[in-house]
Amino acid sequence: MKTSKKAQVEISFNWVFVLIAGAAILFIFLRIIGTETEFAQTATQRRAIHDMTSLLTVLQQNPDSISNEKRINYLLEFNCNTEGHSYGIQGATNPARLPHQIIFSPKTVGEARIVTWVKTLRTPYPVSSILYLTDHETMYIFLKDAGQTAENYYDLFPEEIPKTLTTANNLNDYEDEGHRNIIIIKNTDAKIDYNLIKNNLDTRKITHVVSINNNNEVKFINIQNTNEEKNFGSLTEELVIGAIITGNPNLFNCTLNKALDQTRIITDLMLERTKLLNTAYGSNPCNTYYSSINQNTFQDLSNAARNKQSIYGYVQDIKNLNDRILRTNCVPIY
Amino acid sequence: MKNKKAQIQNMETITVVIIVMILIVIGIVYATNQKKASLTEERERTKDIEAMTTATNVLSMDFLKCTRGSATRETCIDYYKIKALNNNVFKEENYLHFYRLFGESKIEIKIIKNITGKENENITIYSLEDTENKTSIIIKTPITIEDAVWNINYFGIMEVTAYR
């Protein structure tokens, strides 16, 4: 009886051992599988960030360049939320932040050949490099109008970016070639039938229409609810191109804010430089160009950029003043 | 006798369990250490890249370059722009922007005005030094500094010290 009890204890002890060892082995295997999955995702994310960082560094040295980059096999997703502008592979838990980089891109880019286009943001002096990032899966449809606003931007767009020029009436003849994103660009005055777009095109691919007027004022119209419009002031050409490239008011707003912040900082520097020129010239007749009246133009642009208002008019004022100075022997204000 | 045998058998089983546990723990510790080492290496490499990026950011600052209308002169820096930057860089509303751009670094421009060195000018356009336990990379670039009012081009050296 005594022995049988002991044997029973021994048997149950073996079972406890098997359970502990089994659980430990199972736990280790599950951890390994989990870590490997996470590692694979992190590795792709790291590769994506590395590719993007290299691209940004190279492009900084190549202003005003267009390049048809290699195909990337992952899908990058750009986001703008309370934590700021960021990107990463879809579903990544640790997206890379873009705190000051001025990058305009559609919400998703990738699983296709990507196209990069670099321009310098000028207000009218150089402020920063802008990177337009898109791919062969994004189609830009420009609608012809009497004022040729959309047509002018169609001409500005490089051949490397998929684009087409058509009329609002011919939109129902447009054949979807299987692009992932479709972005429609029109003049503000041009009338289009939104029901036609909804019926003819896949509304998962197209969410907004980008509307531009002759004063470079940008407006995003929601396809699903055409009363829902997001207006941006009168902007410079490089920023309007940014609006077209993103086709998304939220993402555009995120990058626009960074661009306007940098415009304010550089404008304040230019204002400071004008004051220094004013002091350096002393009583020289050139001094009139750097007077407080002209300094106010910089101040107005700085205030408009700070308050995220229209900047186009002030940029033109500064450009006109500089053109006048260039006809003299005085130092230009930029 | 039987009791003793059973006790020995139990001891054996316990020993095996302990050994298996020890092996598992050793395995986990080894794997963690390996991972830690590779992460440290990766972090060091990232810091090197960050330092180089700071230097590149300075050298590619378009707004500091000499311009005439829309034309920009490479490797030429406007004297009044660096003076203006020096006055603006640490203003509260600008600080974050320049910190993101330059991080922990020191950017100094040495303007050589004559050979004797008496009138040479040093302008520190940015300085956020945190040298404690940190090494630094110094990148020196020869540049031209234009004083457009007096129409003089000075020879200068831009020295970027990036801490990591």
Provide the pLDDT confidence category of residue B160 given band limits of 50, 70 and 90: confident
- Calculate how close chain B gets to A28, using CA atoms only, in Å: 9
- The answer to whether residue B70 neighbours chain A at the CB level (below 8 Å) is yes
CB–CB of A265 and B88 under 8 A? Answer: yes
The mean pLDDT value of chain A amounts to: 87
Q: Give the tens place of pLDDT for each residue, A11-21.
A: 676 777 778 87
Q: Does B4 touch chain A (CB under 8 A)?
A: no
Residue B117 confidence (pLDDT) above 70: no
Distance from CA of A119 to the nearest CA of B (A): 12
Residues of B in contact with A270 (CB under 8 A): 84
Statement: residue B1 has pLDDT above 60: no
Looking at per-residue pLDDT, the higher value among A59 and A74 belongs to: A74
Cβ–Cβ under 8 Å, residues A241 and A156? yes
Tell whether the model's pLDDT for residue A79 goes beyond 80: yes
Q: List the single residue in A13, A24, A60 with the smallest CB-CB distance to B10.
A: A13
Q: Is A10–B62 a contact, with Cβ atoms under 8 angstroms apart? A: no
User: To the nearest whole percent, how much of chain A has pLDDT over 70?
Assistant: 95
Per-range mean pLDDT, top range of A68-72, A196-200, A325-329, B55-59: A325-329
Q: Which residues of B touch A53 (CB under 8 A)?
A: 49, 53
Nearest CA-CA distance, residue A17 and chain B, Å: 7
- pLDDT tens-digit readout, A147-168: 788 999 999 999 999 999 998 8
Question: A-chain residues within 8 Å CB-CB of B50?
Answer: none
More confident residue, B69 or A197: A197
Q: Is A269 in contact with B62 (Cβ distance < 8 A)? A: no
Which of A131-145, A205-219, B126-140 bottoms out in mean pLDDT, i.e. has the lowest?
B126-140
Residues 6 or more apart in contact with residue B126 via CB below 8 angstroms: B85, B89, B98, B102, B105, B106, B107
Phi, psi of A231 (to 5 degrees): -100, 140
Whether residues A273 and B84 touch (CB distance < 8 A) is answered with: yes
Chain B CB contacts of A47 under 8 Å are none
- Supply the pLDDT for residue A316: 93
**How far apart (Å, rounded) are the C-alpha atoms in residues B80 and A275?**
10
Looking at the predicted structure, is the pLDDT value of residue A255 above 90? yes
Taking contacts as CB-CB distances below 8 angstroms, the residues of chain B near A276 are 80, 83-84
CATH class for the domain made up of A137-245: alpha beta
Q: How large is the ipTM?
A: 0.71
Nearest CA to A194 among A229, A242, A159, A231?
Answer: A229
| pLDDT for the residue numbered A246 | 95
Task: Work out the pLDDT band at A108, boundaries 50, 70, 90.
Answer: very high
B34, B50, B63: best to mutate for the A interface, most A CBs within 10 A:
B63
Does the distance separating the beta carbons of A126 and B65 come in below 8 Å? yes
Q: Return the number of other C-beta atoms located less than 10 Å from residue A322's C-beta.
A: 19
E strand or H helix that includes residue A324: helix A312-326
Average model confidence (pLDDT) across chain B: 82
**Where is average pLDDT lowest: A111-125, A279-293, A304-318, B56-70?**
B56-70
Query: How does residue B61 score in pLDDT terms, banded at 50, 70 and 90?
Result: confident
| Percent of chain A residues past pLDDT 90, beyond the cut | 43
Task: Give dist(CA A250, CA A25) in Å, integer.
Answer: 48
Whether B15 contacts chain A with CB within 8 A = no
pLDDT attached to residue A292: 80
- List CB contacts (< 8 A) between B10 and chain A: 10, 13
* Cα–Cα distances in angstroms (integers) from residue A333 to residues A139, A215, A298, A303, in the given order: 40, 25, 10, 18
Whether the predicted pLDDT of A176 surpasses 70: yes
pTM: 0.79
B116 touches chain A (CB under 8 A): no
Say yes or no for a CB contact (<8 Å) between B84 and A127: no
Maximum Cα interatomic distance, chain B, rounded to a whole number of Å: 110
Decide if A277 and B3 are in contact by the 8 Å CB cutoff.
no
**Residue A177 confidence (pLDDT):** 83
Q: How confident is the model at residue B111 (pLDDT cuts 50, 70, 90)?
A: very high
Report the pLDDT value the prediction gives residue A135, as an integer from 0 to 100.
93
Chain A: closest CA distance from residue B101 (Å): 8
Best CA proximity match to A114, nearest among A130, A97, A134? A134
Q: Distance from B88 to chain A by nearest Cα, in Å?
A: 7
Residue B156 token pair: 């200068």
Is B13 in CB contact (< 8 Å) with chain A?
Answer: yes
Q: Say whether pLDDT at A23 is over 60.
A: yes
* Domain spans, chain A: 1-136, 137-245, 259-326
pLDDT of the residue at A261? 93
Out of A73-77, A173-177, A297-301, B35-39, which region has the weakest mean confidence (pLDDT)?
A: A173-177
Residues in A closer than 8 angstroms to B65, CB to CB, are 126
* Shortest distance, CA B29 to any CA of chain A (angstroms): 13
Using the predicted structure, report yes or no on whether residue A2 has a pLDDT greater than 60: no
Task: Round to whole Å and give the CA distance between A94 and A111.
Answer: 20
Residue B131 has a pLDDT of: 61
Would you tell me which residues 81-100 of chain B have a C-beta closer than 8 angstroms to some C-beta of chain A?
A: 81, 83-85, 87-88, 91, 94, 97, 100
Closest partner residue to B53 (CB to CB) among A57, A126, A326 is A57
